[in-house]
């Protein structure tokens, strides 16, 4: 993908200071931080969101002085954020400095297995606990179409994917499960990955969302859990054929 695409996404992500805001989710811990966030917390949430969303690419070098200038803060909070991201497994520090972690095939499979377990159960709970109003929101997300101002349809589908999955997770009504899912957010269908998909593959992903919504609307927890898990495993199968994994 051309760098200009990532620059546009970087500007978009810079307006969203927390990774959870990508899907409107806020964990218990984030609520405490949002009341009086330190610069280290702001830097962490900004950079974490950019890594998970794919704005910062695998193996991309992270230069402290450049990051501090872009974020408008000193190097100390940026360094603190990078150390925290390293603990999360999202960045690595070698003899040449900080870089965004590049996942192996085995790591991707493990991430998606974990997502399938956690988000699959969240979908089961969502089917029986989500309010009618929450289902209306989900339907609205799926009915959205790219506007005339949308430069790249793939980016629109990435945003829609994030919004829908986040709405399903929120609908489970279990704050502990929601927080656990957020804390395990290491790799998602992001802008970089979206550019790898063909039109047919994007359509199949959307069809999977609609199938899941049908199960949620029918209050069928068994079907919702099965469909979401199958959807995630189909996604990782596409990833493993598209990337350098």
Residues 61-84: pLDDT tens digits? 999 999 999 999 999 999 999 999
E strand residue ranges, 2-111:
61-62, 91-94, 97-100
The answer to whether 173 touches 129, Cβ cutoff 8 Å, is yes
Beta bridge partners of 92: 99
Residue indicated by tokens 């009504």: 173
Q: CA gyration radius for the chain?
A: 18
pLDDT of residue 166: 94
Q: Mean pLDDT across the stretch 174-198?
A: 81
Q: Residue 207: how many CA atoms within 13 Å on its side-chain side?
A: 7
Residue indicated by tokens 């189909």: 234
pLDDT of residue 2: 33
Neighbour count for residue 96 (Cβ, 10 Å): 7
pTM over 0.85: no
Alpha carbon distance 45, 17 (integer Å): 6
Provide the token pair at 145. 């179409």
- Pick from 90, 79, 77, 14: which is nearest to 48 by CA? 90
Those residues with Cβ within 8 angstroms of residue 131's Cβ, 6 or more apart along the chain or in another chain: 171
Q: What domains are there in the chain, each with its CATH number?
A: 3-100 (1.10.10.10), 105-242 (1.20.120.530)
Task: Write the pLDDT tens digit of every residue in 24-59.
Answer: 334 444 444 444 579 999 999 999 888 877 788 889
pLDDT of residue 29: 43
Q: Is the pLDDT of residue 7 over 70?
A: no
Alpha carbon distance 15, 22 (integer Å): 10
Q: Is the pLDDT of residue 207 over 90?
A: yes
Residue indicated by tokens 């546009």: 8
Task: Write the pLDDT tens digit of every residue in 102-159.
Answer: 888 898 899 899 999 999 999 999 999 999 999 999 999 999 987 666 556 778 888 8
Q: How far is CA 3 from the centre of its chain?
A: 20
- List Cα–Cα distances, 235 to 35, 74, 108, 138, 194, in angstroms: 36, 39, 11, 20, 11
| Mean pLDDT estimate for the chain | 82
Q: How far is CA 103 from the centre of its chain?
A: 15
Alpha carbon distance 61, 183 (integer Å): 24
């Amino acid at each position: 993908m051309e760098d200009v695409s990532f620059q546009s996404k970087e500007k978009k992500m810079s307006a969203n200071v927390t990774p959870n805001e990508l899907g409107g989710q806020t964990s218990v811990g984030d609520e405490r931080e949002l009341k009086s966030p330190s610069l280290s917390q702001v830097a962490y949430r900004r950079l974490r969101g950019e890594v998970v969303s794919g704005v910062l690419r695998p193996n991309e070098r992270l230069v402290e002085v450049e990051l501090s200038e872009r974020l408008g803060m000193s190097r100390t909070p940026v360094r603190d954020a990078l150390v925290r991201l390293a603990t999360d497994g999202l960045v690595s520090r070698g003899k040449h400095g900080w870089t965004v972690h590049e996942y192996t095939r085995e790591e991707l499979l493990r991430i998606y297995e974990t997502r399938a377990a956690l988000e699959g159960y969240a979908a089961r709970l969502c089917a029986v606990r989500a309010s009618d109003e929450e289902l209306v929101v989900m339907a609205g997300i799926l009915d959205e179409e790219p506007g005339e101002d949308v430069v790249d349809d793939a980016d629109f589908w990435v945003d829609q994917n994030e919004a829908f999955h986040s709405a399903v997770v929120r609908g489970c009504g279990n704050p502990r499960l929601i927080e656990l899912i957020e804390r395990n957010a290491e790799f998602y269908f992001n802008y970089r990955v979206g550019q790898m998909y063909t039109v047919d593959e994007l359509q199949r992903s959307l069809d999977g969302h609609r199938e899941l919504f049908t199960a949620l609307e029918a209050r069928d927890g068994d079907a919702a859990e099965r469909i979401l898990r199958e959807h995630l495993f189909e996604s990782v199968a596409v990833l493993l054929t598209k990337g350098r994994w």
